[in-house]
Amino acid sequence: MSNNKESGTGMDDAGNSGGVKTAMEGQNKPRRRRRRPAAKPVLEESVVAVEKASPGTLHVKRQNGGKRAPLSTAEGEKPQTSEEGAVAKASGKKPARAADTLRMIPLGGMCEIGKNMFVYEYGQDMILVDCGISFPDEAMPGIDVVIPDFAYVLDNIDRLRGIFITHGHEDHIGALPWLLRTVKATVYGSGMSMALVKQKVEDRETGVKGVNLVTVKDGDRIRAGCFEVEFIHSNHSIADANVLAIRTPAGTVLHTGDFKIDYTPLDGRIMDLGRIAEIGAEGVLLLVCESTNVENPGASSSETKVGEALSSLFQQAEGRIFVTTFSSNVFRIQQIFTAAEKQKRKVVLVGRSMLKYYEAADSLGYVKHKPETLVEINKASKIAPNELVYITTGSQGEPLSALTRMANAEHRQIEIRKGDMVILSSSAIPGNEKSIYRVINELYRKGARVIYKSLAEIHVSGHACQEELKTIHTLVKPRFFVPCHGEYRHLYRHAQLAVGLGMPQENVHILSNGDVFEYSKKRQQARIAGAVHTSAVLIDGSGMLGELDRHILRDRLLLAEDGVVSVALAINRKTGALVGQPEIQARGFYYNSERDRIVKECQHKIRDIVKKAEEAGKRVETLLKGDSLNYQLEQLLQARTKRRPVLIISVIEV
């Protein structure tokens, strides 16, 4: 989930490539709409039937149920059935391994943006690429972050030879502290990546001890068991991003990570396309390539254009300037410093994550400015407003971020006022639009001049668009291709792009998390060899919610939607008879106009149920143990209000 996630073939406007289709087409039947969809706190990717491929069909798999489109199988082998796959996945059973077989297993990053984690296996050796987080959606109230399921890694821990990081965004390194609590493995990455990983694992709250972090340089080759991993420089919205060339006995895998092709990068270090072309000429077995911006035609703009726009805006500003951007975008932070110094302004950093990323970048010499330019926040009040620039967190409208608290007049040291210029140098992560516009509205109310992407070119994406993706495919010319890092539509469009460039359809595979891509060196064939158990693990505070705790999210959703009703009964200890009126209280359930009527009906219903129980010789405790009282009250409340609150019944003996 770095937090910086935005979204050339012969495709028509409908996204079709002319004859490319899947077996899913026409299979979705309309269903009667439910009142409330079931919550899925643990997002287990389902396993469905594997069928023989038919000509002209992409090899794709559907996530979360439904029928699966055709998948390739090795010649003479029986395809796995849905029952076999489901049993293997539910039991955590490991797929059988052959000594001459290469496997790639995504534990995250497929059919989603974020939570990137990939397993590569050959024989008795295994390596991991990235270990990231994603952020919760509206169906996960109270959840802080989501991490991959490490079960498969822990089951095969004796074969793990190393962890390799493509770059330092949270959706690629954020889950490392949880993994490294129990896994003792060497982590390899570039300067910025390792500086950020070091900050994470050295945090006292993580409980991580004795981890071995190895900083590599572009061009370094690391031997890990039978694997050799080469780090190749690429461009992205964070410094020191890498493409990984993973050499195995079966062939070379090129794993791109997140990237763009910027011919005028701020640091002058262009993506090493020459080296990628050399590896392509040597022969690449498998390309695993990101898909975030595959829906965008053309190429992404250079970061230098943002600097030009910022300089122009800084010249126009008469008062204080506030710029919010992704904290990890060191290049953007550098351009803000440069624009500020041109206008003889001081810079103040605001927000914990902004300070963290700045410290990591500064330790590597990636942010260059005059020593006197950077001032502490407690000294800013002594500087004239037209001499200040604040770089702050809050680009996504996060409730506790610095900019949001400023806009709501809740920040302890800074408040937005008339005459301020606020620049949102970022794009909205899907799902955050409402939060961002809420902050923008508050900024306008405070009298600020607000600049955001639709008003000026103050942000460019860090992800490759269609023409850049075509360049990589053309240089690499892989035998097989697996698109990654995207929702299903992104993966599908990327698969179409590859086919449009001439790749055989049967060599393109769209995977779900947990699927096992397998290439047999002996047979010279690839297939989807079933799946391993994988699910999203939800982090709630310092704990983890597993599959056994699904009811927690279910109850939270019910509380948020329909509230809670509490019923207190006083029972005579000796006779078991009801004493007095049942006490009924509710929160977030009924309106004031409904209160008296609903309370009276519930009290009458309870007395009636207890009376019938007494006539049958039963005590109230029996009704509670059998859920009879609970069920009948739920039915009454739903019939009267069309709502289903969380119902809590307590009994006091007197």
Do 497 and 434 have their domain in common?
A: no
Distances (CA, A) of 342 to 161, 307, 314, 384, 622: 49, 12, 9, 16, 79
Do 340 and 295 have their domain in common?
A: no
Q: CA 630, CA 620: separation in Å to the nearest integer? A: 12
Q: What range defines the domain where residue 582 resides?
A: 563-653
Answer with the residue of higher pLDDT: 359 or 96.
359
Do 133 and 262 have their domain in common?
A: yes
Q: CA 23, CA 6: separation in Å to the nearest integer? A: 29
> 264-288, pLDDT tens digit by residue?
998 999 999 999 999 999 999 999 9
Answer with the residue of higher pLDDT: 556 or 259.
259
Do 295 and 316 have their domain in common?
A: no
Do 133 and 253 have their domain in common?
A: yes
Answer with the residue of higher pLDDT: 548 or 394.
394
Closest residue by Cα to residue 512 from 538, 531, 493, 537: 531
Do 110 and 252 have their domain in common?
A: yes
CATH of the domain at 65: 3.60.15.10
| Residues present in the chain in total | 654
- Kindly indicate the confidence band of residue 604, based on its pLDDT and cuts at 50, 70 and 90: confident
Count of domains for the chain:
3
CATH of the domain at 620: 3.10.20.580
- Does residue 22 lie within any of the structural domains? no
454, pLDDT greater than 70? no
Percent of the chain with pLDDT over 70: 81
367, pLDDT greater than 60? yes
- By the 10 Å C-beta count (0-12 exposed, 13-18 middle, 19+ buried), 36 is classed as exposed
- Does residue 190 lie within any of the structural domains? yes
Residues 118 and 288 sit within 8 Å (Cβ to Cβ): yes
If you average pLDDT over residues 318-334, what whole number do you get?
94
Q: Record the pTM.
A: 0.76
Do 181 and 270 have their domain in common?
A: yes
Do 266 and 148 have their domain in common?
A: yes
44, pLDDT greater than 90? no
β 125-129/101-108 pair status? unpaired
Residues 266 and 307 sit within 8 Å (Cβ to Cβ): yes
**How confident is the model at residue 410, as a pLDDT?**
92
**How confident is the model at residue 147, as a pLDDT?**
92
155, pLDDT greater than 90? yes
Buried b (16+ CB within 10 A) or exposed e, 298-317: ebbbbbeebbebbeebbeeb
- Does residue 245 lie within any of the structural domains? yes
List beta partners, residue 647: 565
Q: Residues 6 or more apart from 626 whose CB is under 8 A from it?
A: none
If you average pLDDT over residues 367-377, what whole number do you get?
95
Flag the least confident range among 59-63, 202-206, 588-592, 598-602.
Answer: 59-63
Consecutive H or E run containing 537 = strand 537-540
- Does residue 151 lie within any of the structural domains? yes
Do 465 and 441 have their domain in common?
A: no
Q: Domain boundary at 421, 451, 481, which?
A: 451
Do 295 and 326 have their domain in common?
A: no
- Does residue 257 lie within any of the structural domains? yes
Among the residues of 190-347, which ranges form H helices? 191-201, 273-282, 304-316, 330-342
Do 110 and 141 have their domain in common?
A: yes
Q: CA 608, CA 445: separation in Å to the nearest integer? A: 56
Q: CA 223, CA 242: separation in Å to the nearest integer? A: 17
- Does residue 39 lie within any of the structural domains? no
Q: Domain boundary at 394, 417, 451, which?
A: 451
Torsion angle in degrees (nearest 10) through CA of 208, 209, 210, 212: 20
> 571-586, pLDDT tens digit by residue?
887 777 788 888 888 8
Do 79 and 164 have their domain in common?
A: yes
Q: CA 538, CA 327: separation in Å to the nearest integer? A: 24
- Does residue 5 lie within any of the structural domains? no
Mean pLDDT of the chain: 82
27, pLDDT greater than 70? no
Q: Domain boundary at 428, 451, 474, which?
A: 451
- Kindly indicate the confidence band of residue 79, based on its pLDDT and cuts at 50, 70 and 90: very low
